[in-house]
């Protein structure tokens, strides 16, 4: 059972660890933000259909507003491709072989199909394979060969997709089942994880040791990957079964795993629910322990850990981004979105944090990587 026990720590007065470095404006609600894994390029999309590319002090509008929302965007692992999908039911692909100074958008490759809304897309972590949802199917595009690799047929609408961090598996959530394929064996899923309620989203831990789902019945399920072979057995020991965490007060809008050393032994999972961030950590020999972060006053829409540290960013409709030291103590509050924020993303190095607003604001903060206490230390979570 998830226990809502507020953190006893209050907001300290500390030197700023993040300072605003860039501000841009689009015409509508910011729907998605993604950093390139190479360099300092940021892609931003809006509910009006705009796709904006930012690089240092330059910007390039790849797509003008057209009234059709773009809902997800992502760079390939090598940074050579940018993919976007949304209300139009198509994938737009841009090759990232451009000079920003030319102010000329590159040619677009468009993957068309039926009119099904595309709101989930993800590149393979090592190869230029793009997986995206289209109704009751998942399609996988091979960008290097410019061909559709396969189409996976599901019995229900696809809610979320996720490549495992090692790139060997693809998980797809559809209704109460999570289908897991082993690459490149696309004929049948290797595993089918049955849940007690439909999964709305899924998330692999950074090292791939755990797979979590946020469920429609206000619960979170956590599968230990080392025990995946037990999920389809009729009877098994309780310790081998996936963990079910109940008692969340509202819809779980986002999941985020801490990218810290020793995460396979003691993983840390954050869940955005109502105006709270609910934290769960697996303590060896004790099980999952929980606490909440409760400084927001409106729905928390997005959360993410800074790469390779325990610094958590949470973003809310209340107009604040809060940075939480070790996901326990509020260290700084950032503003700049008049009607509230919508989404955020850390730069792969952790040096920058970008956030989008509900009125089209795009803000980028530079983050002090030398700030004391951002890294993983066992005593922060009582593991000594």
Distance of CA 49 to the CA centre of its chain: 21
Q: Which residue has the higher pLDDT, 263 or 377?
A: 263
The CATH number of the domain holding residue 78 is 2.130.10.10
CA distances from 306 to 118, 226, 369 (A): 27, 26, 10
Nearest to 288 by CA among 374, 221, 203, 225: 221
| Tokens (6 digits) for 189 | 């899923």
Q: Is residue 5 assigned to a domain?
A: no
Say how many domains are in the chain.
Answer: 1
* Burial bucket for residue 117 (CB in 10 Å: 0-12, 13-18, 19+): middle
Of the given ranges (7-16, 47-56, 226-235), which has the lowest mean pLDDT? Answer: 7-16
Q: Is residue 12 assigned to a domain?
A: no
Beta bridge partners of 192: 179
Q: Is residue 202 assigned to a domain?
A: yes
Instruction: Report d(CA 111, CA 67) in Å as an integer.
Output: 19
Q: Is residue 3 assigned to a domain?
A: no
Q: Is residue 78 assigned to a domain?
A: yes
Q: What is the pLDDT of residue 285?
A: 86
The answer to whether the pTM exceeds 0.75 is yes
Instruction: Report d(CA 165, CA 183) in Å as an integer.
Output: 13
Q: Is residue 133 assigned to a domain?
A: yes
pLDDT tens figures, 324-360: 999 999 999 999 999 999 999 999 999 999 999 999 9
Rounded average pLDDT over 69-98? 95
User: Residues of 241-255 as b/e, b for ≥16 C-beta within 10 angstroms?
Assistant: ebbbbeebeeebbbb
Q: Is residue 297 assigned to a domain?
A: yes
Phi-psi bin for 131: left (phi > 0), alpha (psi -120 to 50), beta?
A: beta
Q: Is residue 1 assigned to a domain?
A: no
Rounded average pLDDT over 274-281? 98
Q: What is the pLDDT of residue 374?
A: 52
Question: Which residues span the domain enclosing 207?
Answer: 18-381
Cβ atoms within 10 Å, residue 261: 13
């Amino acid at each position: 059972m998830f226990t809502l026990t507020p953190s006893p720590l209050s907001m300290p007065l500390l030197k700023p660890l993040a300072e605003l470095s860039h501000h841009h404006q689009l015409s509508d609600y910011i729907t998605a933000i993604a950093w390139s894994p190479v360099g300092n390029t940021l892609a931003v999309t809006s509910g009006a259909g705009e796709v904006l590319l930012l690089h240092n002090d330059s910007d390039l509008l790849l797509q003008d507003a057209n009234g059709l929302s773009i809902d997800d965007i992502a760079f390939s692992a090598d940074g050579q491709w940018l993919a976007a999908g949304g209300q139009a039911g198509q994938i737009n692909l841009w090759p990232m072989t451009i000079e920003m100074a030319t102010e000329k958008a590159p040619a677009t490759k468009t993957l068309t199909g039926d009119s099904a809304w595309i709101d989930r897309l993800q590149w393979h972590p090592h190869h230029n394979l793009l997986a995206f949802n289209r109704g009751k199917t998942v399609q996988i595009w091979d960008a290097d060969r410019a061909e559709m690799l396969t189409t996976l047929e599901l019995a229900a609408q696809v809610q979320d997709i996720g490549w495992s961090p090692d790139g060997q598996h693809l998980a797809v959530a559809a209704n109460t089942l999570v289908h897991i394929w082993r690459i490149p064996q696309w004929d049948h899923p290797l595993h089918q994880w049955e849940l007690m309620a439909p999964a709305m989203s899924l998330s692999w831990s950074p090292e791939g040791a755990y797979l979590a789902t946020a469920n429609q019945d206000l619960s979170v399920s956590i599968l230990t990957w080392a025990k995946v072979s037990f999920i389809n057995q009729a009877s098994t020991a309780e310790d081998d079964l996936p963990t079910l965490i109940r008692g969340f007060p509202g819809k779980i809008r986002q999941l985020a795993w801490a990218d810290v050393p020793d995460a396979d032994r003691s993983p840390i999972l954050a869940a955005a629910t109502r105006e709270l961030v609910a934290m769960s950590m697996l303590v060896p020999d004790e099980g999952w322990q929980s606490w909440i972060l409760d400084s927001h006053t409106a729905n928390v829409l997005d959360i993410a850990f800074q790469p390779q540290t325990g610094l958590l960013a949470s973003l809310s409709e209340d107009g604040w981004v809060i940075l939480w030291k070790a996901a326990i103590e509020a260290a700084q509050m950032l503003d700049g979105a008049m009607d509230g924020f919508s989404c955020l993303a850390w730069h792969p190095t952790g040096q920058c944090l970008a956030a989008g607003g509900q009125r089209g604001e795009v803000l980028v903060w530079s983050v002090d990587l030398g700030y004391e206490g951002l890294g993983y230390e066992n005593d922060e979570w009582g593991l000594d």
